[in-house]
Chains A and B, each alone.
Chain A
Amino acid sequence: MTEVLPRVRRRKRQDWAGYVFLLPWFGGLIFMIVPFVASLYLAFTDYDLLTPPRWAGLANFREMLGDATLHQSLKVTFVYTLVSVPLSLAVALGVAMVLDRGVRGLAIYRSVYYLPSLLGGSVAIVMLWRYLFGYDGIVNDLLATIGITGPAWTTDPDYALSTLILLHVWTFGAPMVIFLAGLRQIPAMYYEAAQMDGASKWRQFRSITLPLLSPIIFFNLVQALIASFQTFTQSYVISNGSGGPAGSTLFYNLYLYQKGFAEFDMGYASSMAWLLLMIIAGFTAINFLAARYWVFYDN
């Protein structure tokens, strides 16, 4: 208890510096608050972009209940999130652990693996991806050499979403770098002690690595989940904005965009944006509640 007081005082002294560094963010916030409030208002209107919005009460939200396309877009987004988030985090952790063993040229590997996560959402990479996975693209050419007839990766509604999940997993670099930093923070003495007690590698992973890394896993999970719900570019480019083939890559955000800008229904699009905000907030809240039971803070 006696230690607490000076600690708090020290933190206070440091606080103002933090706020100064945050100033640009607060400046930017003003430009966000206005559209934020505007979209809340528009969510309750009938607004076609070209004529002034008319108050519609809850009509947009009622319409959502019976909108089969909206339900399809929710399904696509949830499937994508539930599959790609755990998968990409697992790959990121796996690669980080391999690199953490002290590979020669670590800096190079780290950069190479990190690169896709910088480029993955970019138009050029998605175009390239479309080319690789085309009906007679390089992937199917390679499969053909070992006697497998590959599917139409991007044009078959049964495969198109999996191709996008693959693209997402490929961009595991960002969480990997964070995992790597986290692994470096785990004191080597824990492993040494465990080894002396004869713990297997798996046992060490479960009892040392996972608990000590759990705050990092949690951070990556929250980040990945939020980002995943907001996926847009990949399907916009692959399907040229249509969400095709047959609605199989119609992400929630893409449908929102279609509604707002292609179908002149910005009121509905705004209410969709708020539903998404609530969904993300809900998932994030569940995440934080669940975290009490599995995230271990070493302080």
Chain B
Amino acid sequence: MNAPHDGPRLDRRRLLGLAGLTGLAATLPACGRGFGGGGGDDGKIELNMVWWGDAQRAELTAKALDLFQKANPGIKVSTEYQDSSPYKDKLAARFAAGNPPDLMAMRFDSLREYADRGTLLDLSQHAGLDQSALTDSARALGQVGARSFGVPSGLNTIGYIVDKTLTDKYGVSIPDGDTWGWDDLAAFAKQVTKASGGKVYGTNFEPWTVANLLVFARQRGEDFFTPDGRLGATEATVTAWYQLVADLRKAGGIPPAGFIDQNNGASPAQSYLAKKAIASQIIPTNGLLGFNQACGGNLQLLRIPGETRGPRRGQSVDTPALWSIAAGSKHPAETVKLLNFLINDTEAAKAAGVTRGVPANRTIAEAIGSGLEPDNRRSTEFLNKLQNEKLPASYPYPVGASKLTNILKTISTEAEFGRMSPTEAGNQFITEARKAIAP
């Protein structure tokens, strides 16, 4: 063993230095690294395209892009994809760094954050993009006033899925999915929980997801967001929403407080439905195939409860993601060409399938319909039926709307643990939401 005085010693001066250096280094902001784009090395024009999703979606997207590159040998498309949450942050950082992608998947609730700040190309000015085969309501998803900043990469809506294997096992009958109301859902859920002896909870829908509350508000005759970008939902509606949840929890129809992790993730395999902890839930309809695979293949797809009970319909035709083009793209003409191909080429649509929902181009939607897997055909028919009905339109969310996600999450937790009454929750939400959306 070393004698103590020969070894390295810490004295005050060195300590100061060390602590100072590590402290300084750690508080400095980290540098972000941009990623590539621009001209290719073989004289080709290189377009950068980014989106969120999983490996399966990547494979399908690559197939469609191969077709495009074969038809356009002068253009090379480089792609990047990741999970939706980091995608959102990275996209903002790329714009801030002055290195935006040419073509990007745009969240519906973020479109105006970008468009209103002049960072997206106005697609209505580009004759190369043909949106004539889209319905008015599909086109409206990407429109701000007379200008167009996004084209739906596909169409979807939300639906209620019920695991029929479980309900059969416990002898509970599934209500009629076109006409059921929220009270039917409550009765159904309570029955399942009771019949299973508490092993399976009847249902769980996310009260903290804006899209769910939005449908509920519309059923009550309110626009959650008004067309001119204000908050249209009333305190009474949000209170009723939390009352509905509180009653369901009290009756045992949904799991007790703390059971559901808000941040469990959206993947079907990790869902509480796949774990057989609950018997029904709300999903985006383009996820039906994945959920049915993860849950054993006996899922029923129902509409959202209450569609025929309120003053008007609540469901609408939405999009999982819009395609947008950066105003700063160096190759706008080529990017528009690529976008037009993705929207209007039947072969491209066949290759990509319905991973991003039903093609917005109705002719193509019909053309690819028969070639789909049964589950995808089912969700496509579900959506097509809705498209033929008179539904309220969806408008792009106003600037500031992306803040509502966390506000609604926090208030839902407070209500879940009884730290806020439904009335307090309704009041708190409206107060905070108004502040978030205020111009």
Mark A residues whose CB is within 8 Å of B: 25, 31-32, 35-36, 39, 48-51, 130, 134-136, 151-152, 154-158, 184-187, 215-216, 218-219, 222-223, 226-227, 230, 238-247, 257-258, 261-264, 266, 273, 276-277, 280-281, 284, 288, 291, 295, 297-299
Contact = CB atoms under 8 A, between A and B. Distances in A.
A230 B26 contact: yes
24 contacts: A49-B96, A50-B92, A130-B261, A152-B259, A155-B258, A155-B261, A157-B417, A158-B417, A184-B1, A187-B3, A226-B19, A244-B262, A244-B406, A244-B409, A244-B410, A246-B413, A246-B414, A257-B89, A264-B92, A266-B96, A280-B23, A291-B12, A299-B9, A299-B11
Given A36-B28, A50-B117, A242 B11 contact: no
Contacts of A273: 27, 29
Q: Which of B3, B95, B410 has the most CB of A within 10 A?
A: B410
Nearest to A189: B4
Interface string B396-430: 00000011011001100110010100000000000
Closest 4 CB pairs of A and B: A152-B258, A240-B263, A246-B413, A50-B117
Given A230-B27, A244-B413, A263 B403 contact: yes
Interface residues of B, number: 53
Interface in B151-188: none
B419 A134 contact: no
A61 B196 CA distance: 56
A284 B410 contact: no
B341 to A, nearest CB: 28
A152 B257 contact: yes
Contacts of A136: 259, 277
A258 B113 contact: no
B403 A280 contact: no
A238 B263 contact: yes
A36 B119 contact: no
Contacts of B403: 262-263
B10 interface: yes
Nearest to B115: A50
A48 B117 contact: yes
Contacts of B40: none
A187 B4 contact: yes
Contacts of A239: 263
A216 B15 CA distance: 9
Interface string B80-98: 0000010011001101100
Interface in B18-38: 18-19, 21-23, 25-31
B265 interface: yes
A220 B18 CA distance: 11
B263 A242 contact: yes
Contacts of A184: 1
B22 A297 contact: no
Contacts of B16: 288
A64 B31 CA distance: 25
Contact of B28 (A35, A222, A263): A35
A184 B403 CA distance: 53
B92 A261 contact: yes
A151 B10 CA distance: 45
Given A135-B258, A215-B10, A244-B409, A157 B419 contact: yes
Contacts of A238: 263
Contact of B85 (A219, A241, A280): A241
Contact of A156 (B3, B30, B258): B258
A218 B15 CA distance: 9
Contacts of B382: none
A49 B263 contact: no
A158 B262 CA distance: 16
A148 B145 CA distance: 59
Given A31-B31, A39-B29, A187-B4, 19 more contacts: A35-B29, A50-B118, A51-B118, A136-B277, A152-B258, A152-B259, A155-B413, A156-B417, A215-B10, A215-B15, A219-B19, A238-B263, A240-B262, A244-B413, A245-B262, A247-B410, A261-B93, A284-B19, A297-B12
Q: Which residue, A31, A185, A245, A281, has most C-beta atoms of chain B within 10 A? A: A245
Contact of B260 (A155, A187, A295): A155
Nearest to A295: B12
Contact of B95 (A50, A276, A280): A50
B29 A36 contact: yes
A135 B259 contact: yes
A181 to B, nearest CB: 9
Nearest to B120: A50
Contacts of B277: 136
A49 B114 CA distance: 10
Nearest to B117: A50
B409 A242 contact: yes
A298 B5 CA distance: 10
B262 A277 contact: no
A201 B51 CA distance: 64
B7 interface: yes
Nearest to A212: B4
A157 B265 contact: no
A276 B23 CA distance: 12
A42 B232 CA distance: 34
B414 to A, nearest CB: 5
A261 B91 CA distance: 9
